[in-house]
Amino acid sequence: MSMLLAVHDAYGQLLAQVGNPTPEAPPASDKLLKLVRYFTWFVLLSGVLGITYAGGRFAWEKWTGGGLESPKMVAGAMIGGIIATSAGTIMNAVIT
């Protein structure tokens, strides 16, 4: 029992010497974050453009009476948008 107390006391003294570290951003992280922000805007813009294009094509196919291929495009754009917008949340869950 006294051995356990001695180990606990030595461990406490060792931890008392270690300071409280403050987190610091890695070098060039500001450039990487800027690139990620640009990529996020590109993904959002391409999703909006994809849904807009598919909606216009859907209207054209209905008007001309052609085969309906555009509902698949709309569904694909919506699923891609859901995956793209939830990617940040998924990565945060994996990291923590």
Q: Using N-to-C axis directions, what is the helix angle for 29-64 and 70-95, rounded to 10°?
A: 160
DSSP string, 40-64: HHHHHHHHHHHHHHHHHHHHHHHHH
* Most distant CA pair in the chain, distance: 90
- pLDDT of residue 73 exceeding 70, the answer is yes
In this structure, are residues 51 and 63 in contact, taking their beta carbons and an 8 Å threshold? no
pLDDT of residue 85: 76
Domains of the chain, residue spans: 29-95
Residue-wise pLDDT tens digits, 17-45:
666 667 787 888 788 888 878 887 887 78
pLDDT in tens, 49-58: 887 888 888 8
CB count within 10 Å of CB 44 equals: 13
Q: In the prediction, which pLDDT does 2 show? A: 66
Say what the pLDDT of residue 81 is. 77
Provide the whole-model pTM: 0.54
Check pLDDT > 70 for residue 63.
yes
Six token digits for residue 53: 């294009």
